[in-house]
Amino acid sequence: MPKSKITKHNYVTFTDDYILELKRCLDKLDRRQIGRALDLLVQAYSNKRTIFIMGNGGSASNASHMACDLGKGTLQRHYDETESRVKVVSLTDNVAILTAFANDISFEDIFMQQLRNLVMKDDVIIAMSGSGNSKNVIKAVSYAKRCGAKTIGFLGFKTGGRLANMVDCAIVVDSMHYGPCEDIQLVLDHIMTSWIAKLKSLHYGLENIPQENKAVPFKVYEPKKSISHK
C-alpha cells in the first residue's frame, strides 16, 4: 500500500466509522431477548444446572472468556465454602478432545459429542456464531434441545441464520461484519456476568460491603426478582 494513502484522516475516519457502527448495533439490541437470556442463566444457577458455551474462531475464544467470567467473575468471596457457584463449561477449551472428535469422526461433531458426555435436562447452552449457520454449533444445539436443555444464541449477520429459529432465545446483532458481532458477544457476556454477580451480592447481603469481585464496578438497580438457592 502506498505510504501516501495512510493519513491521519483515513485512520481517524476508519476508527470513527467502526465505533459508530458498534454503537448503532448496541442500540438496536433487543432488550427483551437479553432479559430472557438473563432469566435462563439465573434459573440454571439457582437450580444448580450447568451452562455450556461454544463457538468457532473468535467466538471460540469468547466462549472461553465467558466461561471464565461466569465461573470466577460472579464470586463474592473466593474462600467462602458456603457460597453457591455457577457451573459452567466452555466446549472450546479441550484441544485434545476437539481434535480427536474432528479427526476420528467429523468437525461437525466436535461440540455435539462433548455434550453427549455431559448435558442434562434444564442445562443451558450458549451458542456463539456470527452467521448463525455453523454446522457444528447447529448440530450441538439440536442435540441439546432433544435432551431438554435450554438454548441461547449470541448471533449476528442481521438475521441470526438458522440458529435464530432453533434456539429458545436469540440475541441478534444487526451487522454483517464479524467485528461488531464478536465485540457484542463479550458485551453480552459482561452484562450477564455482572447481573448474576449483582444478584448474588444482594442475596448474600454484601452489596454495601467491599468485595473481592470487581465484575460490577458501577451501580446496578436492585432487581425485582430474588434469586433462589436450592
| 3-state per-residue secondary structure call for 113-173 | HHHHHHCCCCCEEEEEECCCCCHHHHHHHHHHHHCCCEEEEEECCCCCCHHHHCCCEEEEC
Say if 48 falls within a structural domain: yes
Pick the more confident residue, 49 or 202.
49
Report the number of distinct structural domains present in the chain. Answer: 1
Report the alpha-carbon distance of residue 93 to residue 111 in Å, rounded.
11
Report the alpha-carbon distance of residue 60 to residue 11 in Å, rounded.
29
Contact 194, 215 (CB under 8 A): yes
Say if 178 falls within a structural domain: yes
Pick the more confident residue, 156 or 9.
156
Residue 203, pLDDT score: 76
End-to-end CA distance of the chain: 62
Cα radius of gyration rounded to whole Å, the chain: 19
Judged by average pLDDT, the poorest of 25-39, 145-159, 190-204, 207-221 is: 207-221
Say if 220 falls within a structural domain: no
* Confidence bin at 209 (pLDDT 50/70/90): low
Residue 210, pLDDT score: 53
Q: 10 Å Cβ neighbour count for 28?
A: 12
* Confidence bin at 3 (pLDDT 50/70/90): low
* Confidence bin at 230 (pLDDT 50/70/90): very low
* Confidence bin at 221 (pLDDT 50/70/90): very low
pTM, entire model: 0.88
Report the alpha-carbon distance of residue 88 to residue 65 in Å, rounded.
11
CATH of the domain at 99: 3.40.50.10490
Say if 38 falls within a structural domain: yes
184 by Cβ neighbours in 10 Å (0-12 / 13-18 / 19+) ranks as buried
* Confidence bin at 112 (pLDDT 50/70/90): very high
- Grid coordinates standing for 118? 455431559
pLDDT greater than 60 at residue 15: yes
* Confidence bin at 226 (pLDDT 50/70/90): very low
DSSP state of 111: T
Find the angle CA(14)-CA(18)-CA(22) to the nearest 5 degrees: 170
Say if 227 falls within a structural domain: no
Residue 183, pLDDT score: 98
pLDDT greater than 60 at residue 215: no
Say if 153 falls within a structural domain: yes
Say if 156 falls within a structural domain: yes
Residue 63, pLDDT score: 98
Report the share of the chain in percent with pLDDT over 70: 86
* Confidence bin at 76 (pLDDT 50/70/90): confident
**Per-residue model confidence as pLDDT tens digits over 118-171:** 999 999 999 999 999 999 999 999 999 999 999 999 999 999 999 999 999 999
229 by Cβ neighbours in 10 Å (0-12 / 13-18 / 19+) ranks as middle
- Average pLDDT of the chain is 90
Say if 148 falls within a structural domain: yes
Residue 46, pLDDT score: 96
Q: Which domain holds residue 33?
A: 3-72+81-191
